[in-house]
């Protein structure tokens, strides 16, 4: 989802631009934490403090809210582009 900042900003207009713009696509580790720091009140520290079930529930909410706004043709994530390319080849 972090490969499409416009989709995140559409779903979460108050998302923190500085946090989103500092993300390097396909970073290893810290990805959900970055999204939480951008959109969740109190950031990843506050969400983590609620436990893994709360983290999972919030990730599901992000997916429901963000993905309808994604432009899959212009996603900046190399891994997403690879996934899309290979999925289309199977179809």
pLDDT of residue 13: 98
Q: What confidence tens digit (pLDDT) does each residue in 29-85 have? A: 899 999 999 999 999 999 999 999 999 999 999 999 999 999 999 999 999 999 999
Considering only residues 16 and 27, tell me which one the structure prediction assigns the higher pLDDT: 16
Residue 81's domain comprises 5-90
pLDDT of residue 28: 87
CB 8 within 8 A of CB 39: yes
pLDDT of residue 80: 94
The structural domain count of the chain equals 1
Say if residue 27's pLDDT is above 90.
no
What is the distance, to the nearest Å, from the Cα of residue 23 to the centroid of all Cα atoms in its chain?
10
């Amino acid at each position: 989802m972090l490969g499409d900042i416009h989709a995140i900003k559409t779903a979460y207009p108050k998302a923190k631009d500085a946090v989103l713009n500092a993300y390097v696509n396909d970073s290893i580790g810290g990805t959900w934490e970055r999204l939480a720091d951008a959109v969740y009140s109190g950031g990843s520290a506050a969400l983590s403090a609620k436990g893994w079930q709360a983290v999972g529930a919030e990730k599901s909410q992000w997916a429901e809210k963000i993905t309808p706004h994604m432009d899959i043709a212009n996603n900046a994530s190399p891994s997403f582009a690879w996934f899309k390319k290979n999925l289309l080849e199977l179809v």
